[in-house]
Amino acid sequence: MKNRKRRVLLVQAPSVGNASSERIYPIGIVLLATRLREAGHEVFVLDMNLQKDKDPYTALREKLLELRPDVAGFSLRNLDPLANRQASFMPQFAAAVRLSASVLPQAVIMAGGTGFSLFARRIMSELPEIKFGITGEAEYSLPALVHSIENPPALENILIREGETIKKAGSVKTKTKKPDMSVYIPADKTILDPGAYLDLNSYTPAFGIEGKRGCPYNCSYCVYPALQGKKARLRTPLAIVDEIEQANKKWGIDRFHFTDPVVNSPSIHLEEVCREILRRKLKIKWNGFFRESLFDPKSASLYERAGCECISFSPDGLCNEALHALGKKMSEKDILKAARVSAETGMLTVYHFMVNAPGESEKTKGKAIALIERLYDLHSPKRNLGTIVLNNIRILPGTPVEAMARQKGIIREGTDLLYPAYYNPPPLETFRYELETLHFGLNVASWQGGGNLPE
């Protein structure tokens, strides 16, 4: 395969827990397909999560035989379903890669995606069928690699298999530049018809909008800064709303999720987006994850008028001790201050907390219980508390939480973090169930009005 235009099939590997799980339009892989098409390649996308009438592996096999691509690229977006579950998406990913190699051995197999990036060498070691791997953002490196497979570009985020050896194509000196989000060109949705995703989900918007990449915060469990950088790279508000308007008018999409690590940071950026939505009188709904310390009555009113239907907060720590250990740079007071504001709006609010996190102890259990009770008290008048999500921390490589877990013996030296491992040491290993019992009881009482159920 010398330098030439190629036929490429990009595959979104299975990344949902079961048939009833919410499906998400794979904006990342469609964006890469767009960059490949701009470079002159013939490109197709298959989302294995969207197969209703046939087995997803049958769909993959048929697509491979129909297209006979030169390159088959597989995206491993999620390692597992999270939510304290022990399931892994690695077996499905491995099966898809091996099926491709069996059906079409002449095709060059590549892999990437967020989940893959965290364990790229390890995954390539287990799956010798993968010839090339790409870690992190791939808008520049994937087209360059597909164009020149025989002589791969010397970029640091490209991994090459040479026999049993896996090595980087380049060094730190050839580090791949991060895409300039100020000139971001959205994914071309004609490559993968959005129609199949419309009205597909019960509560999660199926369509994502990237307003920015990168995160300036340093939460001790999170890999966002490592994958996207610590500096927020912003798209222009006009370009963001252009994409929303086009998706709404051309495809009928009226609900969106901002994929930003923190949608209201910097707050002026989101406010400008909202003002532009209002100026164009777009009838759309959206949600995202918000920073509590940047949430105030004035901004909340603007968000709601611009179509925000759900505020997601992820303070994670249930007490000041945990908040400090998690590097959240906020306090219980900050959480409650934001909750008071959101409780006065017509938007639903969802809270995400990590239970039995570093910093928690028997002495802090009462604080966690009191915080949850207080959140219900605040939202009770308008009954606008969507839910409280209670999880243990999924331990990911290279994070401070991993170091804490190893230091405390929560994970062993040989613990394989490719598969689900949670920070949940004794004596509070069952505390999550206590809090869930409290939460569900309060939730039912809130929505049922506290009255007697009919006989």
Report pLDDT for 172: 65
Q: Evaluate whether 277 touches 307 at the Cβ level (below 8 Å).
A: yes
pTM confidence score: 0.93
Interval 30-83: pLDDT, tens? 999 999 999 999 999 999 999 777 899 999 999 999 999 999 999 999 999 888
Tokens of residue 155, six digits: 């970029």
CA distances from 30 to 24, 25, 57, 341, 407 (A): 12, 9, 20, 37, 41
Q: Evaluate whether 134 touches 74 at the Cβ level (below 8 Å).
A: no
Tokens of residue 227, six digits: 């994958």
Report pLDDT for 85: 86
Q: How many helices (H) and strands (E) does the chain have?
A: 15, 17
Report pLDDT for 454: 38
Is 450's pLDDT higher than 70? no
| Look-up of token digits 């927020």 | 232
Nearest-angstrom CA–CA distance, 74 and 38: 20
Report pLDDT for 431: 98
Report pLDDT for 19: 56
Tokens of residue 102, six digits: 């069996």
Report pLDDT for 448: 76
Report pLDDT for 20: 53
Tokens of residue 229, six digits: 């950088």
| Look-up of token digits 């071309």 | 188
Among 16, 52, 43, which residue's Cα sits nearest to residue 187? 43
**Domains along the chain?**
7-174 (3.40.50.2300), 203-448 (3.20.20.70)
- What's the whole-number mean pLDDT along residues 195-204? 85
Interval 335-380: pLDDT, tens? 999 999 999 999 999 999 999 999 999 999 999 999 999 999 999 9
- What's the whole-number mean pLDDT along residues 385-410? 96
- What's the whole-number mean pLDDT along residues 89-97? 97
Q: Tell me the HSE value of 220 on the side-chain side, using a 13 A CA sphere.
A: 22
Confidence of residue 193 (pLDDT cuts 50, 70, 90): very high
Report pLDDT for 425: 96
Interval 221-244: pLDDT, tens? 999 888 999 999 999 999 999 999
- What's the whole-number mean pLDDT along residues 127-142? 96
Is 194's pLDDT higher than 80? yes
User: Mean of the per-residue pLDDT values for the chain?
Assistant: 93
- Ranking 13-27, 193-207, 355-369 by mean pLDDT, the lowest is 13-27
Instruction: Using a pLDDT cut of 70, give the percent of the chain over it.
Output: 96
- What's the whole-number mean pLDDT along residues 398-420? 94
- For the chain, the 3-state helix, strand and coil shares in percent, each to the nearest 5, are 40, 15, 45
CA distances from 403 to 121, 214, 320 (A): 21, 23, 21
Report pLDDT for 453: 37
